[in-house]
Amino acid sequence: MSAPRPEFARKSGSAGQRPRSRIQKRNRQIILDAALEVFSTHGFRGATLDQIALEAGLSKPNLLYYFDNKDTIHRDLLTQLLDTWLDPLRMLDPRGDPQTEIMAYMRRKLEMSRAYPRESRLFANEILQGAPRIEPFIRAELRPLVDAKAQLLTDWARAGRIAPIDPYHLIFSIWALTQHYADFAAQIGMIRGDGHDPLDGAEPFLEALYTRLLAP
Amino acid sequence: MSAPRPEFARKSGSAGQRPRSRIQKRNRQIILDAALEVFSTHGFRGATLDQIALEAGLSKPNLLYYFDNKDTIHRDLLTQLLDTWLDPLRMLDPRGDPQTEIMAYMRRKLEMSRAYPRESRLFANEILQGAPRIEPFIRAELRPLVDAKAQLLTDWARAGRIAPIDPYHLIFSIWALTQHYADFAAQIGMIRGDGHDPLDGAEPFLEALYTRLLAP
DNA sequence: ATCAAGTTTGACCATCCAGTCAAGAAGCTT
DNA sequence: AAGCTTCTTGACTGGATGGTCAAACTTGAT
C-alpha cells in the first residue's frame, strides 16, 4: 500500500522537529546538505529536485518522502540558517570595549564566511530576489536588532569611544566586506589564481581597515 | 510564409550589431530592458520568456523574432554590461594623486550602484552561480586589469603615498562596499524603512572610511 | 495603390520538472 | 520466522516553459 508520511514530517510548519529514527535523521541531513549546495549556487527556481536528489545520492521520490515539497526544503534551510545568522551581531556587548567589540564582531562574521560560504550564498540569493521568503524575518527580527545595535554604536560615538560614524553604514560595511568573500568567491578565485584561498589576507586587511576607521 | 530573421539577428556571435530599422532598435532595447529587470531579480534559470515578454509588452514569439533564444538575450545583456563595468577601474590614473584617484574610483563605483542597480544584481547573480558565462572574460580581461592596478597600488604604497595595505583586498573592498548597496538593496530597504534611499549617507561614510584607511 | 520586406501572433510541440502512487525492499519487534 | 512498520523506487501525470511555424498584419518604397 501507499506509505504514509512519518508523523514528524507530516506538517512541518516550523522546522526543528527531530526525526524519530536514525535513518530519518541521517537522510534528512543528507538532503538538506545537498539542497544547500544546489540552492546556494542556482537559487530557488534554478534548482531542480533531480539535481538535489543526484547530489544527495537518493531518488527523487525518496526526497519527497522526507520533505513535503521543494519549498519546504528551501524554507527549512533558510530557517536553520537564520537561527544562527544573527548570533554574531547579538553578541555585540554594550559592556565591552567598543573597538574590541566591533572588531570581534567583524571577525565572527568573517569566520562565518569562511565556515559557511554556501549559507552566505543562499542568503545572498534570497536577498537578490527581493527577500520574498524572509521578509517577515527581516522586519520582525533583523530590523529591531540592527536598530538596537545602531543605538549602541551611536552611544559609543557620542561618548567619544569610537569615531562619529553612521552606525547603520558601519554595520552594512561589515556585512558587505565579510560576505563578499563567500558570495563572490568564484570571481576572487579567478583573479587571484585558483589554488589561492579567497580569504587569504582578508583578516589583517579588515583589522587595519576597522582599526583606522574606528579610532576616535 | 515563414519570416526569415533579419540579417543582423541571424547569428549574433558577439553583440554589437546595430539594428537596421527604427523598430528593430526600439524593440531590441525594450526587450533587453525587460530582460534585465527579470534576469537581475530571478537569475537565468529563474527567469521565463513569458515574464520577459509580459514585462516588455510583447508576445513571446515576437521576442524570439528579435533574439534567437533565451541564452542570447542573457549573453547580450552581460556583454553590454561588461563593456562598461571595468571603465571605473581602467580610469585609475598612475599620474594622479593616489588618494584622490582611489577616492574617485570608489565614487565612480558607488555611482554605478546608484545608476545601474539591476546591472549590478545581474552580475552578482552570475558570480553567485559560479560565473559560468563570464569566466573567460574574468580571466582574460578583469584579471590582468586588476593585476596591473594592484601593481600600481603597490608602487604607491612603496613610495609612501598611501598606507601599506594589500592592494587586492583594497580593490575587493571597494567592490564589496559599493555593490552591496545595489545587490542587497531589498534588505537595506527593509531595515532602514521603505521610503528611505538605500544609498543615503553612503558616500560620506565611504569617504571617511577610505580617507582613514589610505592615509600613509 | 501595389507589392515586397519587415513585423506580429495564435496555435502548436517537445522537453523539463514538481509531485503522485502503488508495489516492493529493508528493518524492527516478537 | 512472521508480521508489521519504515523506507525506497520505477513509472506516471499535469502543468510550465523554451522554442517553432505559417498565416496575417504593417510599413515603406515606387
DSSP, residue by residue, B100-139: HHHHHHHHHHHHHHHH-HHHHHHHHHHHHTT-TTTHHHII
Q: Say yes or no: B135 and B185 in one domain.
A: yes
Q: Say yes or no: A96 and A189 in one domain.
A: yes
Q: Say yes or no: B57 and B104 in one domain.
A: no
Residue A12 lies in a domain: no
542570447: which residue's cell? Answer: B72
Residue A1 lies in a domain: no
Report how many domains make up chain B.
2
Nucleotide nearest to B63 (CA to C1'): C8
Q: Say yes or no: A140 and A68 in one domain.
A: no
Q: Hey, which residues 151-180 in chain A have their CB within 8 Å of chain B?
A: 163, 165-166, 168-170, 172-173, 175-177, 179-180
CA of residue B23 to C1' of nucleotide C6, angstroms: 10
d(CA B44, CA A28): 29
Residue A70 lies in a domain: yes
Across the range B130-151, mean pLDDT stands at: 97
Q: Say yes or no: A99 and A125 in one domain.
A: yes
Q: Which of A80, A96, A130 is the last residue of a domain?
A: A80
Q: Residue B111's Cα: distance from chain center in Å?
A: 12
Residue from B41, B190, B192 to probe the interface with A (highest A Cβ count within 10 Å):
B190
Residue B181, domain CATH: 1.10.357.10
CA of residue A61 to C1' of nucleotide D12, angstroms: 12
Give the pLDDT band (50/70/90) at residue B20: low
Option in A121, A190, A191 nearest B128 (CB)? A121
**B187 neighbourhood in chain A, CB within 8 Å:** 127, 131, 138, 142
Q: Which of B32, B47, B80 is the last residue of a domain?
A: B80
d(CA B80, CA A44): 26
**A125 neighbourhood in chain B, CB within 8 Å:** 43, 128
Option in A138, A147, A173 nearest B209 (CB)? A173
B4, pLDDT greater than 90: no
Q: Say yes or no: A114 and A175 in one domain.
A: yes
Residue B5 lies in a domain: no
Q: Nearest CA of chain B to the CA of A21: how many Å?
A: 35
CA of residue B83 to C1' of nucleotide D26, angstroms: 35
Mapping DSSP to helix (H, G, I), strand (E, B) and coil, where does residue B59 land?
Answer: coil
Neighbours of A32 (CB within 10 A): 20
What is chain B's mean pLDDT, rounded? 91
Option in B128, B170, B204 nearest A124 (CB)? B128
B17 compared with B62, residue with greater pLDDT: B62
Question: Is residue B3 exposed (0-12), middle (13-18) or buried (19+ Cβ within 10 Å)?
Answer: exposed
Q: Nearest CA of chain B to the CA of A65: how many Å?
A: 25
Q: Say yes or no: A135 and A200 in one domain.
A: yes
Q: Hey, which residues 83-112 in chain A have their CB within 8 Å of chain B?
A: none
B167 compared with A22, residue with greater pLDDT: B167
Q: Say yes or no: B209 and B128 in one domain.
A: yes
- Positions in chain A whose pLDDT score sits under 50: 1-19
The reply to whether B50 Cβ lies less than 7 angstroms from strand C is no
Residues in chain A: 216
Q: Say yes or no: A146 and A174 in one domain.
A: yes
ipTM of the complex: 0.90
- Listed residue (B8, B168, B191, B186) closest to A191, CA to CA: B168
B133, pLDDT greater than 90: yes
Residue B109 · residue B178 · CB < 8 Å:
yes
Residue B6 lies in a domain: no
CB-based contact (8 Å) between B128 and chain A? yes
Q: Which of A34, A58, A80 is the last residue of a domain?
A: A80
DSSP symbols for chain A: -PPPPPGGGS--SSS-PPPSSHHHHHHHHHHHHHHHHHHHHHHHHH--HHHHHHHHTS-HHHHHHHSSSHHHHHHHHHHHHHHHHTHHHHT--TTS-HHHHHHHHHHHHHHHHHH-HHHHHHHHHHHHTT-TTTHHHIIIIIHHHHHHHHHHHHHHHHTTSS----HHHHHHHHHHHHHHHHHTHHHHHHHH-TTS-TTTTHHHHHHHHHHHHH--
B8, pLDDT greater than 90: no
Option in A129, A146, A147 nearest B42 (CB)? A129
Nucleotide nearest to B51 (CA to C1'): D17
Q: Say yes or no: A197 and A98 in one domain.
A: yes
Q: Say yes or no: B76 and B107 in one domain.
A: no
CA of residue B124 to C1' of nucleotide D14, angstroms: 35
Residue B101 lies in a domain: yes
Enclosing H/E stretch for B202: helix B202-214
d(CA B107, CA B203): 7
The reply to whether B53 Cβ lies less than 7 angstroms from strand C is no
Neighbours of A204 (CB within 10 A): 12
Residue A5 lies in a domain: no
- Listed residue (A57, A38, A59) closest to A118, CA to CA: A38
Question: Is residue B48 exposed (0-12), middle (13-18) or buried (19+ Cβ within 10 Å)?
Answer: middle
pLDDT computed for residue B22 by the predictor: 77
Residue B54, domain CATH: 1.10.10.60
The reply to whether A47 Cβ lies less than 7 angstroms from strand C is yes
d(CA B187, CA A135): 8
Note the pLDDT tens digit of each residue in B59-82: 999 999 999 999 999 999 999 999
Residue A9 lies in a domain: no
Neighbours of B147 (CB within 10 A): 14
Q: Say yes or no: A121 and A42 in one domain.
A: no
d(CA A143, CA A148): 9
Provide the domain limits for residue B57: 17-80
